[in-house]
Amino acid sequence: MGLRDHFRPPLHPAHHWESFHSNWATRIADALNERWLPREYLAEEQTHAGTNLEIDVATFEQRSGDLHPLDAGALPPPSWQPGPPTATAALALPDSFEVRVLTNVGGATLVGVIELVSPANKDRPEQRRAFATKCAGFLHQGVSVIVVDVVTTRQANLHDEIVEAVGAPALRFPSGTGLYAVAYRPVVRDGSVALDVWAATFALGEALPTLPLRLQGDLFVPVDFDGTYEEACRKRRIPTT
């Protein structure tokens, strides 16, 4: 069947791309868990669109008698407030439609991330920088990354933004490259840090690629984007023609 356009008629707006991306991320995670990942690895989808902050400090509604004495002693007085901030600026938060692969060897450790690009990721310069910075941050931590861009309504190229962010502009795509998927593997080779890249381009109506996701060292698993995409289309009753 090949890739459809999820951002224009006839699929849009009858089929919401946000629901499809979320479902596709689930299909990718399921395929990795069921077919390829060793038992000590786990893939999980994480999705949100728009402004959504992850809060590290949980707030609980408790009676005073429920607090442990040490907890109660550590709490600041209820009336305490910080002074006004020294500066405030707008913060660009990228959409996240992603699959994260973790290993439980030596504690939960992130080893790979698969990013499904959204229109907002490609929209304004600050959103593009936020997405590229997030991906570059993963790579700098030694985490492998795959980026898949099937967005037809924005022309910006996030791969180019990512390789600029990691200081590898020679890896930019040729001018005019449209839809694509890229796997990135950070590696230390012969005493030097390098970035291995597997890139594939495609068009509407064409099959999506299978790309490698590095787990550790030279241990890779294949990510079948075409098979998972077709399954997501079936789950969302997207027409086959």
6-63 per-position pLDDT tens digit: 999 999 999 999 999 999 999 999 999 999 999 999 999 998 765 544 334 433 444 4
CA distance 102 to 240: 34
- What confidence tens digit (pLDDT) does each residue in 162-198 have? 999 999 999 999 999 999 999 999 999 888 999 999 9
Question: Is the pLDDT at 160 greater than 50, yes or no?
Answer: yes
Q: Which residues contact 31 (CB under 8 A, 6 or more apart)?
A: 223, 224, 227, 228
pLDDT of residue 136: 96
pLDDT of residue 32: 97
pLDDT of residue 83: 87
Question: Is the pLDDT at 214 greater than 70, yes or no?
Answer: yes
Q: What is the mean pLDDT of residues 66-71?
A: 50
Return the higher-pLDDT residue of 92 and 164.
164
CA distance 11 to 3: 12
pTM: 0.84
Question: Is the pLDDT at 158 greater than 60, yes or no?
Answer: yes
Q: How confident is the model at residue 92 (pLDDT cuts 50, 70, 90)?
A: low
Q: Which residues contact 93 (CB under 8 A, 6 or more apart)?
A: 51, 52, 53, 130
Question: Is the pLDDT at 107 greater than 80, yes or no?
Answer: no
